Structure 1
């Protein structure tokens, strides 16, 4: 193994890619083989980006939420075919927006119910949680906005399409978080702590920032030559209410924490701690391709060049054609990314786990994820 080229590549990110701080950790054959940090969590105060740096996962949260839901499927408490309204009755009688030839829209009753599998695979047609009814509910609670209350309110909005027919990257996994709360009788955070974070050994991962002094600044359009950003601060509304826990994007974490979780999935559900959080057959079900036809075309348009060769499984991209992506990873490699550049690669057949982290808004991070992956693979092969 030789990580010189990967290290040199990462060291160029500050000036060449305008990324203030970067972290990467890797497992090979279920052993940690590489961990590297460069740049800063706080540029002005010269605080290094390191293993104790906390950052937002954004949509890398989704892989954890979907794992939580599949634990409930394993235990028999939920089925993929179950209708959403069995858990949240407000979703029983949904309407769908239909585009008419004259350009207007017509609302029609949905012909099929939303299922748990539709939520996992982003084929439910639910659009957003920032709806008039959700805002009313949040205001009525004095800004508290409990997750389940907000998701119930979202049911008043029409669907974008008939459930199961198309792919649309929306708030489906936030809805999954609400279902988990209904089934378990616990807040999403409490369930994850008991069944994922605790068993895996993730001590810094949560929906609330545990230590602000360790939090990487949220730089927007950082310039590595001037060492300045257009602005610093959050640009996404991840908490419409104070109590809201977004299963789609709300978690904070660190590189050492998240790579433990990713390695657990790479080892078919067995954590480095020795605790099992999923069965091998469930991990294979997670990465099984779910999109075909129009839904796959939707995903291809959404993902662009960075996700060519991939389809979508139960909350993860899944590699179906390595050559189409110029990928060194193997068919069935899976994972996801996050809005400020986090990127996870989980490849059970190659026995490779990779987690890359950055926290910068404005950079085209999706353009170099494939290069990070290929440099990493080339380092061990």
Structure 2
């Protein structure tokens, strides 16, 4: 594909020059590899990023490999593999300052972990859970303490889409069934085969030196260095948020999904994962932030969407943008990607800014995607 990225380059350079972002990189891939890359400001060619929640799709890929091997069933209960999950109660309500817990009405399945309907939540998006942490002093998932995963569920499994530590539990399933750490498993079965040579849960000193610093958006729009970061050490390989890597590495992962699994997954698995697996469950109209320094409120986008196995899904063609069936997600430090198998194109945009869903960056992301599809439209003859 001949790809003129001058509009994207101007967009990124402009975002840096007007102070909207300190450093940002964009990558476009097709089924054969990268067709465009540009890094602006403090971002360089080999810059490392906190991948954060973009780890989820990679960990889910590992679990899907185990499904292909017949080692893991999508409708197996989580408790049948990890008995400790079966001990989790649902946080029902508070009597004054006393949390009231009850047994869940149903048992969560592996599929529900992959679709965020397993019942688990995140403290920064759930008021009940935030209050539970404040009252009990229990650590949250961003502390690096493994016991943070054992806080109560916030919903009965299979009833509600709720963003939370579901994928962390999925990573523990991969570890249990493979007999390896998640990092070790991914190195052997995803990172290694795809050439994702900088992807890691434990960056070396050399890799840390290449990490783009985290900046915090201030009320007046300026960026200041952020005191918030992922923990320097973690007691587990956090499948929900714990990995680091370059934009090129993540592009290789996107390319594999564009390219029918590219040897790490069967084509049928790729197709199955990017179907709607939510059934009658609807995505919320608003992800309401309880910790504004970490995330802004995230409104639902105004078109039909759902959730597959590990990915948010767009269910309709968006004019001048992605196609129906496109999978995507993001990371809390304002990193974003999409995988459009219908058009054979994917994009990754990375920076390191808090809070999540930063509007100047979202504007840049939309401009990036539209510029990509102007090029793709020009390159692909009308059917």
Instruction: Bin the TM-score by the shorter chain.
Output: 0.7 to 0.9
CA shift for structure 1 position 378:
1.0
* Paired position in structure 1 for 2:126: none
d(CA) in 1 for partners of 2:51 and 2:106?
A: 33
Tell me the SS of whatever aligns to 1:33.
strand
TM-score, structure 1 normalization: 0.82
d(CA) in 2 for partners of 1:369 and 1:258?
A: 16
Q: Is the 8 A contact 2:304 2:316 kept in 1?
A: yes
**Uncovered stretches (5+) of structure 2, i.e. residues with no partner:** 124-129, 288-297, 378-383
* Paired position in structure 1 for 2:86: 92
* Paired position in structure 2 for 1:342: 335
CA shift for structure 1 position 306:
4.5
* Paired position in structure 2 for 1:64: 58
Tell me the SS of whatever aligns to 2:202.
coil
Tell me whether 1:322 sits opposite 2:317 in the alignment.
yes
Q: Which of residues 362, 367, 382 in structure 2 aligns to 1:371?
A: 367
d(CA) in 1 for partners of 2:332 and 2:122?
A: 16
* Paired position in structure 2 for 1:20: 22
CA shift for structure 1 position 322:
3.0
* Paired position in structure 1 for 2:265: 278
d(CA) in 1 for partners of 2:224 and 2:216?
A: 6
Q: CA RMSD in A?
A: 3.1
Alignment CA distance shift 1:238-1:86 (3 Å): farther
Aligned ranges for residues 81-230 of structure 1 at < 5 Å?
81-98=75-92, 107-128=101-122, 135=139, 145=145, 147=146, 150=147, 154-155=149-150, 157-210=151-204, 211=206, 212-221=208-217, 229-230=223-224
Q: Is the 8 A contact 1:17 1:224 kept in 2?
A: no
1:46-96 CA distance string (max 9 Å, x none): xxx222111111111111011111111111110010111111112225433
d(CA) in 1 for partners of 2:219 and 2:11?
A: 18
Tell me whether 1:264 sits opposite 2:256 in the alignment.
yes
CA shift for structure 1 position 127:
2.6
How many pairs were matched up? 348
Tell me whether 1:301 sits opposite 2:286 in the alignment.
yes
d(CA) in 2 for partners of 1:25 and 1:128?
A: 30
Tell me the SS of whatever aligns to 1:25.
strand
1:143-189 CA distance string (max 9 Å, x none): 995x5xx37xx44x432111011011011111111111111111111
d(CA) in 1 for partners of 2:351 and 2:144?
A: 30
1:227-246 CA distance string (max 9 Å, x none): x743344x15557x643221
TM-score, structure 2 normalization: 0.82
Alignment CA distance shift 1:327-1:165 (3 Å): farther
d(CA) in 1 for partners of 2:30 and 2:144?
A: 44
d(CA) in 1 for partners of 2:200 and 2:186?
A: 9
Q: Is the 8 A contact 1:206 1:251 kept in 2?
A: yes
* Paired position in structure 2 for 1:287: 274
Aligned ranges for residues 4-43 of structure 1 at < 5 Å?
4-16=6-18, 18-40=20-42
d(CA) in 2 for partners of 1:224 and 1:33?
A: 37
Moved more, 125-134 or 252-261: 125-134
d(CA) in 1 for partners of 2:197 and 2:311?
A: 24
d(CA) in 2 for partners of 1:84 and 1:111?
A: 14
